[in-house]
């Protein structure tokens, strides 16, 4: 018995949705690079990553040159805006830069932004307890004049300078607790996690590459959580790649659905121009 046009449309759409659920999304949140100024399009081996960025050499979103510049002044950012930053403190910021530029495991926390230098950023990455606390401990006596280093600087000279009227104060006053350092300094890019290194539940800035990259397992865990409960995980990564994957898969299969309609809905129409 021939299907009515309405039933055929319903059946075709059902097929599209079923297939879309089975087809892996093009924009997977696993093993991806951000769409940002210095990132590669796809992660891959980079055997000559420089010093602190070298743990990512087996699979990196940064090039060797980017890893070198991460130890210098990749964004014309002056770490010494309130006097010379102690070396034990600066190494944490270099490691933070290496994680941001090189890690292919930040996908669950990537969101779209409208910026002149990047189209994507990270938000609320759960940074391991030890990483935040050691960062704060090594920097507590360093000086700064800003609690959010993403904005508010005087860039008149091409380098960031403290805005007029601001005071240089110890980190321990600007960020009284480790949580505030991790969560405020880059506009919420990180979230202080109570989980510890090796738990599989938090991202590590510091790890031994001889033991593998522990952040791959963490990314898988949060990607699974997001799929299992998208309503609860929505705040973890707004406009995340996984959320965008299903509609595009469905749109890609829409022509197939139209072919299934009686007489082929695409048989007559306006010529392509």
Q: Is residue 89 in some structural domain? A: yes
What are the per-10-residue average pLDDT scores of the chain (273 residues)?
A: 55 50 57 86 90 94 90 86 95 95 94 79 94 97 95 91 94 97 95 95 94 94 82 47 44 46 38 32
Q: What is the largest CA-CA distance in the chain?
A: 83
Residue 63 falls within a domain, yes or no? yes
Q: How far is Cα 261 from Cα 273, in angstroms, rounded to an integer?
A: 25
Residue pair 69/180 in contact by the 8 Å Cβ criterion: no
Residue 264 in domain: no
> Do the domain assignments include residue 92?
yes
**Could you count the other beta carbons within 10 Å of the beta carbon of residue 134?**
16
Examine residue 7 and state whether it is found in any structural domain, yes or no.
no
Q: Give the number of domains in the chain.
A: 1
pLDDT at 6: 55
User: What is the predicted pLDDT for the residue at 119?
Assistant: 86
Q: What's the CA gap between 138 and 148, in Å, rounded?
A: 18
Residues of the domain holding 88? 51-228
Q: What pLDDT is recorded for position 167?
A: 95
What does the DSSP assignment read for 152-178? --B-TTSS-BPPTT---EEHHHHSSSH
The pLDDT value recorded for residue 164 is 92
């Amino acid at each position: 018995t021939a299907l009515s046009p309405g039933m055929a449309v319903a059946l075709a759409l059902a097929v599209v949705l079923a297939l879309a659920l089975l087809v892996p999304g093009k924009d997977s949140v696993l093993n991806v690079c951000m769409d940002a100024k210095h990132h590669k399009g796809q992660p891959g081996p980079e055997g000559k990553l420089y010093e602190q960025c070298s743990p990512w050499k087996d699979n990196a979103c940064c090039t060797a040159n980017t890893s070198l510049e991460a130890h210098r002044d990749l964004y014309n950012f002056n770490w010494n805006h309130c006097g010379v930053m102690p070396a034990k403190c600066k190494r944490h910021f270099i490691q933070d830069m290496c994680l941001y530029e090189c890690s292919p495991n930040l996908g669950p926390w990537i969101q779209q932004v409208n910026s002149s230098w990047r189209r994507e950023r990270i938000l609320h990455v759960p940074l391991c307890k030890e990483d935040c606390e050691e960062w704060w401990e090594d920097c507590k006596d360093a000086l700064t004049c800003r609690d959010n280093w993403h904005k508010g600087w005087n860039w008149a000279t091409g380098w960031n300078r403290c805005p007029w009227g601001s005071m240089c104060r110890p980190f321990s006053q600007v960020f009284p607790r480790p949580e505030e350092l991790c969560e405020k300094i880059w506009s919420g890019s990180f979230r202080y996690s109570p989980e510890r290194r090796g738990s599989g539940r938090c991202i590590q800035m510091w790890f031994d590459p001889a033991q593998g990259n522990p952040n791959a397992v963490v990314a898988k865990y949060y990607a699974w959580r997001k799929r299992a409960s998208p309503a609860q995980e929505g705040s973890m990564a707004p406009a995340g790649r996984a959320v965008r994957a299903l509609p595009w898969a469905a749109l890609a299969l829409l022509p197939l659905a139209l072919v299934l309609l009686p007489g082929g809905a695409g048989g007559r129409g306006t010529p392509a121009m």
